[in-house]
Amino acid sequence: MNILAIESSCDETSAAVLANGLLKSNVIAAQLIHEQYGGVVPELASRAHQQHILPVVERALNDANIAKTDLSAIAFTRGPGLLGSLLVGASFAKALALGLNIPLIEVNHMQAHILAHFIDADGDVALRPKPAFPFLCLTVSGGHTQLVRVNGPLDMDVIGQTQDDAVGEAFDKSAKLLNLPYPGGPLIDKYAKTGNPLAYKFPMGEMPGLDFSFSGIKTAILYFLRDNVKANPDFIAQNLPDICASIQYTLVQMLLTKLKRAVRETGIREIAIAGGVSANSGLRAALTKLGDEQQWNVYIPPFDYCTDNAAMIAIAAQFKYEQGDFTAQTVSPLPRMSF
């Protein structure tokens, strides 16, 4: 069984091939054009997807050494994401499935981030340990922050989520205030490595239950920087590692506070993280330590499967293929798709 999967929900065009359950290729073309605008420009993103999609798919098939005619199904991201970007991947997938007369499989991007934990790549020395069902997943990306109870591969409930900004947005917007280029999350991570996380204190806010809010800390950082730069115009340049480490520490603590509460409320001790922000070294280290202290089984995805990629779309599609869960040609993208 050979699945070709396509991901185009935001600003990465990606294609992957999963053959008999093993990942054979995962090609990702990032769009650097957005850096100069300080964020993703939707119109430019869909144009770039149009340019990238054919070469990316061809490379994924070549790398996997699989001919189009050997494919069993075509999978694509139906949502959530930017409409124009989703349309490029969906149209391409539909046309290819129709032309090859094979099934089409729609995938929810947020479910796919979680299912990335089940990817085994061809050539991996050892199979990675997989979370057992039910598990809790903290899904943290540029557009979402969710606590999900994962009952089965395709049976998930969101038990908490952000009421405003996503945590990835909080990283990126903080980075912008520090004059760092987009996307700033990885740069905050980089500078934080040599800084003191307790140098500056930011308010974590109070959000009831398992929901999150990151708009308050964003405003607090804005005022903090404005006041300090007024007193010393070189404040940011002179203190960048300490500022980044303190921001990262606060955001990670906000995430882990809710995760601890979710464990208390559900009694589930199988804990996973997923999404772009799960690449953050501060989050990975803090969760590993907390897991040891609390005796949780913690699952952290390899870096390649944290940020957007088609390998995660392929593994999600495999679960659907096994259940015969196929999609009609009349399908259209859902920018605000929920589970």
Chain center to CA of 271: 16
Nearer to Zn ion, 172 or 308 (CB): 308
Task: Based on the shown chain and the rule CB under 6 A, indicate whether residue 84 belongs to the binding site for ligand KG4.
Answer: no
Closer residue to ligand KG4 (CB): 143 or 153: 143
Cα distance between residue 210 and residue 219, in whole Å: 22
> What phi and psi, each to the nearest 5 degrees, are found at residue 281?
-70, -30
CB of 166 to ligand KG4, least distance (A): 7
Which position among 3, 5, 6, 10 is part of the footprint of ligand KG4 (CB under 6 A)?
Answer: 10
Site for ligand KG4 in 187-206 (CB under 6 A): 189
Q: Does 183 bind ligand KG4 (CB under 6 A)?
A: yes
Query: What is the SS3 assignment for 146?
Result: strand
Q: How many residues contact ligand KG4, by CB under 6 A?
A: 18
Q: State how far Cα 209 lies from the chain centre.
A: 23
**Contact flag: residue 185 with ligand KG4 (CB under 6 A):** yes
Residue 70 annotated in ligand binding: no
| Amino acid at site 201 | K
Task: Give dist(CA 312, CA 123) in Å, integer.
Answer: 17
Phi-psi region for residue 96, left (φ > 0), alpha (ψ -120 to 50) or beta?
Answer: alpha
Judged by beta carbon, residue 2 or residue 109, the one nearer ligand KG4 is 109
Task: Tell which one of 5, 308, 311, 333 touches ligand KG4 (CB under 6 A).
Answer: 308
Q: Using CB under 5 A, list all residues that contact Zn ion.
A: 141, 308
Q: Is 227 annotated as a binding residue?
A: no
Looking at this protein, which amino acid is placed at residue 205? G
Structure tokens at 80: 């959530």
Identify whether the C-beta of residue 78 lies closer than 8 Å to the C-beta of residue 110.
no
Residue 322 CB, shortest distance to ligand KG4, in Å, is 25
- Shortest separation between residue 324's beta carbon and ligand KG4, angstroms: 28
Distance CA 281, CA 274 (A): 13
Q: Give the interface segment with ligand KG4, choosing from 15-23, 274-282, 319-327, 328-336 (CB under 6 A).
A: 274-282
Select from 32-40, 48-56, 126-134, 275-283 the region that touches ligand KG4 (CB under 6 A).
275-283
Sole binder of ligand KG4 in the list 277, 286, 287, 311 (CB under 6 A): 277
Structure tokens that stand for 103 in this block: 């099934």
Query: Interface residues for ligand KG4 in 92-151 (CB under 6 A)?
Result: 141-143
Q: Which does 186 bind (CB under 5 to 8 A by kind): ligand KG4, Zn ion, none?
A: ligand KG4
The residue among 221 and 337 lying less far from Zn ion, judged by its C-beta, is: 337
Site for ligand KG4 in 151-170 (CB under 6 A): 168
Q: Which two tokens stand for residue 327?
A: 């999609």
Q: How far is the CB of 197 from Zn ion (least distance, A)?
A: 26
Q: Is 101 helix (H, G, I), strand (E, B) or coil?
A: coil
89 binds ligand KG4, rule: CB under 6 A: no
Lookup: tokens for 244? 């980044």
Residue-wise burial string across 77-106, b where 16 or more C-beta atoms lie within 10 A, e elsewhere? bbbbbbebbbbbbbbbbbebbeebebbbbb
Partner from ligand KG4, Zn ion, none binding residue 153, C-beta < 5-8 Å depending on class: none
Q: How many residues are present in the chain?
A: 339
Gap between the Cα atoms of 140 and 296, Å rounded = 19
Q: What is the DSSP letter of 153?
A: T
What is the binding site for ligand KG4 (CB under 6 A)?
A: 10, 141-143, 168, 171-172, 183, 185-186, 189, 275-277, 279-280, 307-308
